[in-house]
C-alpha cells in the first residue's frame, strides 16, 4: 500500500495597509489552487491580516507567505518553519537575516515584475528621450519653449543591475534600437545586453549613457552607488530612471543637477520614505517626473503570478530540490 503524500501547514500573512494589488484574498488563493490542484491538495492553510493570529498560526506552520511580520523571537514563535515566500523582490527591510533560523530558507518573488517593469522602462526611455519632464515643467510655469529630440535608435542605455527587471528593460531598449551596456556584479553576459561590465568599471561606461537605468537591489554595496561623482560623469542631456530603491541614488545631488540644467531629466519610481512627504524637495525639482512606486506591480496579475511562482517552488520543496530565488544571506538578494 503506497504512502499518503506528505501534507504541510501553510500560513498566509496579509497587510491591510498595503494596496489591494498585494492582497492574497481567498478568491485569488482559491484560483491558484485550482491551477495547481495536486499541490494545493497537500496544504492545510491558515490566513490572517495584520498579524492578528500570527502567534497562534505560526506555532505549527512549516511554510509562510508574507511581507512584513514580527521577527523577534522568530525561531521560538515558529519552531517548525522551513520556508518563507516573500511577496516582493526587494527585501532589504528584513535584512540581515540573523533572525531567520539556519534551517529555514527565504525566497523572494523576483521575476513576476519583469513584463510590467519592461513596459514602464520603455515608456520612461521614450519620455526622457522626447524630454517629457522638460515639457511637464514648462506646463507648470506656463512657458512655451520648443525642444526637438533625435530618435532613440542608436542611442545607449546603461543598465545598472541586470536581473529580471534590468533584463526586461534591456530587451525593450533593444527593441527600440538602442545599444545596451549592462553593469552587474558577476559580469556574466545576458541576452539583449551588448556589453557587460563589472561595477569596478562603472565610471568607464557612465559617460556613454544616453539613458541610465538603475534597477539593482539595495545592499550595503549598492547604497549610494550613484552619487554626485557618478552623476557628473553623465552627459548633460542624459536621462536617469530609478526603479530600484531610493538609497541607490543620491537624490539631493540629482536635484542639484536638474536645477542647474546639467541633466536632461529623470523619472523616479522609488523613494525613502514612502509616501513621499509633502515637503520633500523633489516635488519642486524641475525636469523630474515622480511615480509613486507603481512601475512593476500589475494590478490584475501581480498576486496570481506570485502564487504561481510559489506553487512551482512548492513542487520543488516537496521533491527536496533547491528553491528558486533563495536569498543569499551575505549578498542580500
Angle of helix 302-318 relative to helix 26-35, nearest 10 degrees, comes to 50
| Domain coordinates in residue numbering, the chain | 8-112+299-318, 114-290
CATH of domain 8-112+299-318: 3.40.50.720
What are the grid coordinates assigned to 252, written together? 539631493
For the domain made up of 114-290, give the CATH fold: Rossmann fold (3.40.50)
Query: Per-residue pLDDT tens for 17-72?
Result: 999 999 999 999 999 999 999 999 999 999 999 999 999 999 999 999 999 999 99
Q: What percent of the chain has a predicted confidence (pLDDT) above 90?
A: 98
Q: Are strands 105-107 and 83-86 parallel, antiparallel or unpaired?
A: parallel
**pLDDT exceeds cutoff 60 at 287:** yes
The span from the CA of 258 to the CA of 255, in Å, is 5
For the chain, the average pLDDT equals 97
Looking at residue 5, what is its pLDDT?
83
Name the active-site residue from 71, 221, 274, 329. Answer: 274
Q: Do 281 and 252 touch, CB atoms closer than 8 A?
A: yes
Active site residue 274: yes
The span from the CA of 258 to the CA of 121, in Å, is 20
| Banded model confidence at residue 2, pLDDT cuts 50, 70, 90 | low
Contacts 24+ apart (CB under 8 A), 191-195: 191/167, 192/167, 193/159, 193/162, 193/167
Query: Per-residue pLDDT tens for 183-193?
Result: 999 999 999 99
Active site residue 293: yes
> Averaged over 155-162, what is the pLDDT?
98
| Banded model confidence at residue 1, pLDDT cuts 50, 70, 90 | very low
The span from the CA of 333 to the CA of 188, in Å, is 17
> Averaged over 274-303, what is the pLDDT?
98
| Residue 99: DSSP 8-state | G
Looking at residue 29, what is its pLDDT?
98
**pLDDT exceeds cutoff 50 at 82:** yes
Active site residue 164: no
Name the active-site residue from 9, 172, 184, 293. Answer: 293
Q: Are strands 265-268 and 288-290 parallel, antiparallel or unpaired?
A: parallel
**pLDDT exceeds cutoff 80 at 3:** no
**pLDDT exceeds cutoff 60 at 256:** yes
The span from the CA of 57 to the CA of 74, in Å, is 13
Domains 8-112+299-318 and 114-290 share a fold: yes
**Ramachandran quadrant class, 2 (left: phi over 0; alpha: psi -120 to 50; beta: rest):** beta
Query: Per-residue pLDDT tens for 205-231?
Result: 999 999 999 999 999 999 999 999 999
Looking at residue 4, what is its pLDDT?
74
The span from the CA of 93 to the CA of 226, in Å, is 21
Amino acid at each position: 500500500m503506497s504512502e499518503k503524500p506528505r501534507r504541510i501547514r501553510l500560513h498566509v500573512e496579509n497587510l491591510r495597509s498595503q494596496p489591494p494589488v498585494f492582497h492574497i484574498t481567498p478568491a485569488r488563493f482559491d484560483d491558484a489552487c485550482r491551477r495547481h490542484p495536486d499541490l494545493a491538495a497537500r496544504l492545510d492553510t491558515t490566513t490572517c491580516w495584520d498579524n492578528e493570529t500570527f502567534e497562534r498560526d505560526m506555532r505549527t506552520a512549516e511554510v509562510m507567505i508574507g511581507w512584513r511580520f514580527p521577527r523577534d523571537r522568530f525561531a521560538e514563535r515558529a519552531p517548525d518553519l522551513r520556508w518563507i515566500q516573500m511577496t516582493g523582490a526587494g527585501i532589504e527591510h528584513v535584512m540581515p537575516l540573523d533572525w531567520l533560523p539556519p534551517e529555514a530558507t527565504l525566497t523572494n518573488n523576483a521575476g513576476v515584475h519583469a513584463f510590467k517593469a519592461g513596459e514602464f522602462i520603455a515608456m520612461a526611455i521614450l519620455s526622457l528621450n522626447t524630454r517629457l519632464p522638460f515639457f511637464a515643467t514648462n506646463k507648470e510655469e506656463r512657458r512655451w519653449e520648443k525642444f526637438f529630440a533625435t530618435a532613440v535608435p542608436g542611442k545607449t542605455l546603461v543598465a545598472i543591475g541586470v536581473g529580471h527587471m534590468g533584463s526586461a528593460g534591456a530587451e525593450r531598449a533593444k527593441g527600440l534600437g538602442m545599444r545596451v551596456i549592462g553593469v552587474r556584479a558577476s559580469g556574466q553576459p545576458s541576452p539583449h545586453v551588448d556589453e557587460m561590465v563589472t561595477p569596478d568599471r562603472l565610471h568607464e561606461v557612465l559617460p556613454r549613457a544616453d539613458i541610465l537605468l538603475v534597477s539593482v537591489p539595495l545592499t550595503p554595496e549598492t547604497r549610494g552607488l550613484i552619487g554626485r561623482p557618478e552623476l557628473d560623469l553623465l552627459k548633460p542631456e542624459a536621462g536617469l530612471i530609478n526603479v530600484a530603491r531610493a538609497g541607490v541614488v543620491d537624490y539631493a545631488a540629482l536635484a542639484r543637477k536638474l536645477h542647474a540644467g546639467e541633466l536632461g531629466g529623470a523619472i523616479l519610481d522609488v523613494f525613502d520614505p514612502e509616501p513621499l512627504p509633502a515637503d520633500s524637495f523633489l516635488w519642486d525639482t524641475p525636469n523630474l517626473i515622480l511615480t509613486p512606486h507603481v512601475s512593476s506591480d500589475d494590478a490584475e496579475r501581480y498576486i496570481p503570478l506570485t502564487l504561481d511562482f510559489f506553487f512551482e517552488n512548492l513542487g520543488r520543496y516537496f521533491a527536496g530540490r533547491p528553491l528558486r530565488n533563495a536569498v543569499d544571506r551575505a549578498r542580500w538578494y
